[in-house]
Structure 1
């Protein structure tokens, strides 16, 4: 019987990995700090030049009046929706059935803030304008996640976003962007971050996903909104005495990676095409709309693991460290392209997928 950690262990030992920027080790912070003046003052409870300069920089990039740095996106987004519910006097918000708040946060929005979710759209599709128009409940806010991670990173077309935004504003509904992967979708939409964010009243972005920082999140909006969010951050225990390790790394890796999103997007499309040439393997979406997508096998997990172990051993290329079962006969994994993909020689990649095709048959 295969060790349950065998795939992860083998993946870590490969010379190349197709996803990500590299291992999340202490070197990530050391690289960010290498050229920082050791006498530079830290921030204190969210104040100070080091944090304020970064917040202003991101506010300008997003085209928003103000931003606040948070230790986590979970905290930032719950607070954003709480503010909109309090302002509106309605304790209901609408979002996708596979929204992060619904499936990954232990009902935090309900338990901590007593906010009731209204689920929009089928779980296997993105939210459409008709889903919003046909809501049966009054809500304070609608949350859109771009891209919709749990269904392979799918996106609505840009015209749909514009129409949903217009409908919400015409009907007094706030609209919030779960933009954990906002940077990654800009090449597909061919829009700037500011153009996308203009459609939303509040915006959350992740610092550690495509950007590759250590941890943290940004919440953006008008000044009145962000000032309220600071009060709630203190109430949540999120006002740490200093954030400077997160801020320094966030600033450093933003400059390193923000302009490479088009490269990652093009490489994701190339990699997905390799997978789709293999029998019993397909990607969702078939053609990625960002740097991330899901790889599905029409095979049982227990049959896929030895195939991948063999490929890793013979080629030195790691495709995934774990597999998720969707049924007894199907499984999948997620890929997000970063700096690592471009280091793999193309002839090595072709060998990987020729071998994968042969073995899954």
Structure 2
């Protein structure tokens, strides 16, 4: 796989563009674009996470979510800080979250080792959290975390009614509801509700700037000012108050300006692509994607499929999605599709045929 990834990155680096993923730019082109934005906004450097474009960014988030925001250099740090604040207030380190949560699957046991969190599974496997899920976790909790969308399950989302009921259940129980909203930008079209209305159901939310918004790095917490004040203390304790974050903040502002308004288009395009795939032998998961990111499953061998992917990339000079990996079911493979603005220039039916060529030969 390491040799494949090296070849994949080499071909992606010389591609003329991408079909599925964010626009391809050189570092120089990205930095020049951000320099132009800095001149346009007439901002000075930030200093240790304050002033400059960081302040502008936090203000823009407050407008979108209807509550204050605090910049963090990483989502891992932001979420651990949020949970630590809630648990310290409650006097318990017990937190409930899905067993597929990013904190449990991708952070090398950091939340438990650094903060001593005691995790209770809110859900198991590809299942969205509901009020009934919370009812099944008995005892005192410091916080409840839900991932919207549940990325490792194909970016599943609850219905709006389910989310409202979960929020009500948490408040009735007096347990803070924290949302892992790394992809909340992509989730919003599923409910067709303003971001502020979504945030109003939560006690705190983390948002990411480098996923749907195509930024360089960085994240933010959204919540009440007293909560953010405590979270900023943990940001400092964890080494997150770095000297300069101007490029990251500018890239986030560019994503909010240029990509956020097109999320609904990307969502509709993703659903159109998914509708074309079953007839070609590929199964989308979910069948009707909840967000512009979802999974594909097909019969095949991982190595053979990835060789065909490289061949198509070399022939067409396009990055057509990402690598495929062996599924849990023998003889099948899986990949993740990420629909961003480059896809909108292509016909979903033609992209579906390309994916079938890669997956099935």
Distance 2:31 2:343 in 1: 21
Deviates more, 1:75-84 or 1:247-256: 247-256
| Partner secondary structure for residue 294 of structure 2 | strand
- Give 1:167 shift: 0.8
Distance 1:268 1:143 in 2: 27
| Matching residue of 2:308 | 307
- Give 1:241 shift: 1.4
- Give 1:25 shift: 3.6
| Matching residue of 1:23 | 24
The unaligned stretches of length 5 or more in structure 1 are: none
1:323 has 2:324 as partner: yes
1:285 has 2:286 as partner: yes
Distance 1:127 1:350 in 2: 31
Selected match of 2:57 from 54, 57, 69: 54
- Give 1:34 shift: 1.5
| Matching residue of 1:129 | 131
1:206 has 2:208 as partner: yes
What pairs with 1:79-158 in structure 2 (closer than 5 Å)? 79-158=81-160
Distance 2:353 2:56 in 1: 47
| Matching residue of 2:336 | 334
| Contact kept? 2:149, 2:157, Cα under 8 Å | yes
1:180 has 2:182 as partner: yes
Selected match of 2:346 from 344, 348, 355: 344
- Give 1:260 shift: 0.6
| Contact kept? 1:33, 1:249, Cα under 8 Å | no
- Give 1:277 shift: 2.3
- 1:72-96: CA deviation from partner (whole Å, max 9, x where unpaired): 0000000000000000111110100
| Contact kept? 1:21, 1:339, Cα under 8 Å | yes
- Give 1:291 shift: 0.8
Distance 2:355 2:322 in 1: 17
Give the CA RMSD over aligned residues: 2.3
What pairs with 1:4-19 in structure 2 (closer than 5 Å)? 4-5=4-5, 6-19=7-20
| Contact kept? 1:179, 1:204, Cα under 8 Å | yes
Aligned length: 357
- Give 1:351 shift: 5.2
| Partner secondary structure for residue 283 of structure 1 | strand
- 1:310-361: CA deviation from partner (whole Å, max 9, x where unpaired): 44455555433322222442221111111211233668536525745xx727
- 1:214-244: CA deviation from partner (whole Å, max 9, x where unpaired): 1100101111000111111100000011211
Distance 1:297 1:239 in 2: 45
- 1:140-179: CA deviation from partner (whole Å, max 9, x where unpaired): 1111111100010011111111111101111110000111
- 1:281-309: CA deviation from partner (whole Å, max 9, x where unpaired): 21110110111101112222123223334
1:250 has 2:252 as partner: yes
Deviates more, 1:269-278 or 1:203-212: 269-278
Deviates more, 1:295-304 or 1:148-157: 295-304
| Contact kept? 2:299, 2:360, Cα under 8 Å | no
- Give 1:122 shift: 2.0
The unaligned stretches of length 5 or more in structure 2 are: none
1:225 has 2:233 as partner: no
| Partner secondary structure for residue 123 of structure 1 | coil
CA spacing shift, 1:348–1:298, aligned 2, 3 Å = closer
Distance 2:102 2:133 in 1: 19
